[in-house]
Every structure is written in C-alpha cells, then in structure tokens.
Amino acid sequence: MSSAALQPTLTDLGTPLSEVTFCVVDLETTGSTGEDSITEIGAVKVRGGEVLGEFQTLVNPRTAISPLVAVLTGITNQMVAGAPRLEAVLGQFLTFCGDAVLVAHNASFDVGFLKRACVDHDQQWPNPTVVDTVALARTVLLRDEVPNCKLGTLARHFGAGTTPNHRALADARATVDVLHGLIMRIGNLGVGTIEDLLEFTRKVSPQRRAKRSWAKDLPDAPGVYWFVGEDGKILYVGKATSIRTRVRSYFTAAETRRRMDEMVRIATGVQHLVCETTLQAEVCELRMIATHAPPYNRRSKYPHRLQWLKITDEPYPRLSLVRTVRDDDATYFGPFRGRVPAEDVTAALHDAFPIRQCTQRLAKRPTGSRCVLAELGRCLAPCDGSVAFDTYASTVEQLRTALTSDIRPVLSAVRERLSRLVSQERFEEAETIRRRLQQVIDTARRFHRIASLAAVPQIVAARSSPRGWEITVIRYGRLAQSALARPGEVPQAVARAAVATAETVAAPAAPLPAASVEEVERIGDWLEQARIIDIEGDWVWPLHATIAPSALPALALAPGTGQPRPIEAASGQVHRSTPPRPTALM
C-alpha cells in the first residue's frame, strides 16, 4: 500500500497551527459592565511564532474610572480624557483582527465586552473562532505544576518575555508567550491543527481524535453505520443522511454524550451500509437495533416490551394488559410504551364503562358476592348475577366500539364529572382525569394510524428529495422496497421496478402490522409528506376514531362548549386534516 493511501488529506487534517493567524487581545475596563466601559485595547497578531503586528490604544469611556482600577492598571481619568472614543477605534481593531483566530486569557470577559461594543455602536461582530488560554491551560497543566491559571502565574511558568502588568498590550504580549508554550506542550499529543486545538480545549481525548481517519473513506450518502468492538460485537447503530459527516462528528467536540465517548474509545472500527432513501436508512437502523440490541443504543432496543390492552374473550369480558397480540379474534388497543400510560387509559375506560375489574373467570351464571366497586356504582356486578348477561354484553360492545371506531363516548362519559370537579376547584383530581383522557386520545391516534397501515396490502409512494424522487413500497405496514429515481429517470418506471423486486409480505393478524410498531410509525411520518402513486385496499380511519388535539383542553375548561372535532378520512387516502397531495409525479 502506498504512503499516499495511508496519509490523510489536508481536508481531514484541518489547518496546521503553523499556518493559523492568531490575534491575541486584552482589554482594560473601568471596572463596570455598563456601556463603553473599555479604557484600553491591546492586541498582537502572530503566525508561525512570528509577530505580524501590534495594536494599542487608550479609549475614552466617557465615565469615571474607579480609584481601585486606576491603582491596579495605572490608567487614570487624565490619561483617557484626550483618547478617542470607542466607536472611533472599534472598527480599526476589527480591521486589524480580520479573519484571524481570536485569543484571550479568560476569553469570555474580553469577547463579551467586544460583542457588547459592536451591538452598541452598530458594528457587525465577525464571530471569529475563539481560543481561551485559561481553558486550554486547565486542560493541559497539572495542579502540581501551577497553583492556578492566572496570567502572571502562567507567564512565569513558561518564561514569557513580557511580564503582565494589567496594561492591555503588555498582557497581550505575555498571552502570546503563554499560547506558544501551551501549543508546544500539547504537540506530542497529536494536536497539530486549529481543529485539534479547539477539540482539545473542549476535552476531546487524543485517543478519540486519532480515530477520525475512520470517517475519511465513508460515503457522503444516506444509510446506516455501526461501531464494532474487539470481538466483532456491534456496539452502536445509527442512521444519517450523510454517513461520512455523521461518523466524523463522533471524533470531535460536537459529540458531548458521555456514553458515546466511552463507546468510541472501546470501538475497533466502523462499518456502513448505503441506502437508497432516508426512510430505508431509518428502517434499517431500527431492524439492526432490534436484532443485535447494541449496548450503547438506548432507544428501540426492546420492541417486544410494548403492552396492549385486551378485551378478554370470556362470558363476562374485562380489560387485561398483555404483551402479546394473538390471532384470537379478541379486541386489542394500544400499543403502550410503558405501564403508566396503559394504566391511565384503563382507568379512563373504567370511568366510562362500568365493566368488572376483578380478574377471576366468571361462569355464564355466576353466584358470587358483590365487591366494593359495585357498591359504589362503578361496576355492573356480574359476579352476583344481578345484571343480565345481555346487558353486560351490550356495555362491553359499547367499549369495543369506543376503542375501534368512536372515541366520543369515553369523553362524554366523564364530561359531567370533570365539570363538577372544576366547579368545586378540585383541580388536582380534574388534572388526573384530563391526563387520562389525553392518553386515551394519543393512544387512539397511534392505534388507528398503525392499524390502518397494517390493513393495506400495498402502498407505492414517492417523496421529492435533493437527490431525486425517493420511492417506497409498503406492504401491510412493512417497508418492502426502496428505490431512488435520480434526475433524468422516469419515476413511474423506477416505481414499477421497485414493486417487481419488493419483498413478499404475508398478511399479519390484525391489528398488528407486518413490522415493528416503531417502523410503522416512521413509515407513517414519511407517507404523510409523500405522494401516493398506487394503493391496493383502503387506507382509512373511522370518522370518530380520535379527536383534534384542541378539543381536550376545551372539554376540560368548558365542558359545555368543547366539541370533539373528528378528522375526515376517505377511502384510499391518508388520514389528516389537510387535503392529500396529488398523486401525479410529473
């Protein structure tokens, strides 16, 4: 292998420090933070260890300098009385600085005053790259080397040629020597560019920066990437619109997550898979996470942990929380990502429909005793035979209808109670009911969104992107194929080829899709911004399956006026409040 193949390009390396122009600045002020507090500006421009120029001027602050500051700096009111004002010298300093990297000791102080001055005097702040020698020194030097990071202490430590004396130019000259001393100190740690220097200041470890070459040969295209460990185990899976750019960010200060720093340190390499579309990248990421359960991925690792609410199949049905949807013709509602939202929805449904909450199995002619809920009027009490079988079955059927097609009875059932609680100023109890109803609404929207896609044998859709038309084939809620119609290609022809090569997907047991719930939700997000080319079956929601989000607050605050607003749906079109996009691509 040639040395050219091994050596990173200049783009990968960044700008060498020897070629960077630094403008080291120091300010003296009146001791206040008000307008025009600057009394002196001093700056030194250097590159490659050579001084290119110096800038120094006193400034008339148009306010008195405090005696303590005058003693400390030696700058008196008489000295600045004839000096130019800040608006006259600010532009000169910005011109002197140009596009250089701005350096200061405790940079937030000096940069803060300069930015404030630009705002006060209608000057555009150039937003330069800033290096803070205090932050750099704290990262580089150990406590047993220097007791603190004051400029005087560091100047003595590095043998600066100028002793800082609280005058702007002298302090700037001392800061130049401190900067050079710090750069020499970290040169053997692999810090050779301004990008390295900034990352080192932000405490990006040399081991992490050294792995940035992993990204140089990756493609600038959408897809998935995964970091692997010594044993080949997948540590982390991610997706990106540009694999190269995203992977490169893991080796810079842009990545601040602690667990990612740990992951990169123990990783031995990164692999990738280019995808035709961004949706395909998202789906591939989800499937890889579900298959390999990478230790450093927090989301999407355990899709089997979702929970569903089931109306049991027995003489006197009840609500039961289950993890598995079976092909048993029972009614399921969900899914829930945790037990708390599932319990909130269950409580809201029990408030609306007084079906039994006990767990024992009852015969068609029960002979038990009534429970406390029955005494409170919150249960029809089938356990003691006091309710007719048909009456209980009718209530269960109303509950089933509410879950599958019309959510309004759930809201109407608690309207009077909610109104009473609000009028009695029992706001905490009212908020509990409102939260439960919100969970019902959110779950109903998720349920029908998933179930509607799961019932459609095939959807062929396209969405425009900078790379061309992204075309997908969806079967029973599963991504079966992706393709990209690049500029100059006929999208309809690409779509027909995608359908011909798409994965064969068997119809799942309703309401489950043929893919994970999260995959269907990602597909739903994508389809709502896409155009339908072809569809087999009906992509619909029941008219009153959910309500508009604005209806619930109205119900909670003014029960007599809040009316649920169903979102329209029609056969073969996406369920939403705005008209569907036209299906034509050209």
**CA-CA distance, 511 to 455, in Å (whole number)?**
8
Phi-psi region of 228 (alpha: psi -120 to 50; beta: other; left: phi over 0): beta
Q: At what angle do helices 86-97 and 107-120 cross, to 10 degrees?
A: 120
Reduce the DSSP state of residue 496 to 3 states and report it. Answer: helix
Tokens of residue 554, six digits: 């109205």
| Contact present, 223 and 57 (Cβ < 8 Å) | no
The residues, ordered by sequence, that sit 6+ positions from 393 with a Cβ below 8 Å of its Cβ are: none
If 0-12 CB within 10 Å is exposed, 13-18 middle and 19+ buried, where does residue 67 land? Answer: exposed
Predicted local confidence at residue 450, as pLDDT: 94
Would you name the residues annotated as active-site residues?
166
| Strand duo 531-536 + 478-485: pairing | unpaired
Longest dimension (CA), the chain: 105
C-beta separation of 463 from 526 below 8 A: yes
Please state whether beta strands 531-536 and 458-465 pair in parallel, antiparallel, or not at all (unpaired): antiparallel
Report CA torsion sign: 127, 133, 134, 139: positive
Quote the pLDDT of residue 15: 86
Q: CB neighbours of 258 closer than 8 A, spacing ≥ 6?
A: none
Span between the terminal Cα atoms of the chain, in Å: 49
Instruction: Identify the H or E element spanning 38.
Output: strand 38-47
| Residues near 71 by beta carbon (within 8 Å), at least 6 away in sequence | none
Closest to 409 (Cα-Cα) out of 322, 351, 462: 351
Reduced 3-state DSSP string for 373-417? HHHCCCCCCHHHCCCCHHHHHHHHHHHHHHHHCECHHHHHHCHHH
Beta strand 331-336 with 307-311 is: antiparallel
For each of the chain's 586 residues, which pLDDT tens digit applies? 333 333 444 444 578 999 999 999 999 998 877 777 899 999 999 999 999 999 999 999 988 898 889 988 899 999 999 999 999 999 999 999 999 999 999 999 999 999 999 999 999 999 999 999 998 998 888 777 899 999 999 999 999 999 999 999 999 999 999 999 999 988 877 788 888 788 777 766 667 777 888 998 999 999 999 999 988 899 999 999 999 999 988 887 777 777 888 899 899 999 999 999 999 999 999 999 999 999 999 876 666 678 999 999 888 899 999 988 888 888 999 899 888 999 999 999 998 898 988 888 887 776 667 777 776 677 888 887 778 889 999 999 999 999 998 888 888 887 778 888 888 888 888 888 888 888 998 999 999 999 999 999 999 999 999 999 999 999 999 999 999 999 999 999 999 999 999 999 999 988 899 999 999 999 999 998 999 999 999 998 888 877 655 555 444 433 333 333 332 333 333 343 333 343 444 3
pTM: 0.65
DSSP annotation of 582: P
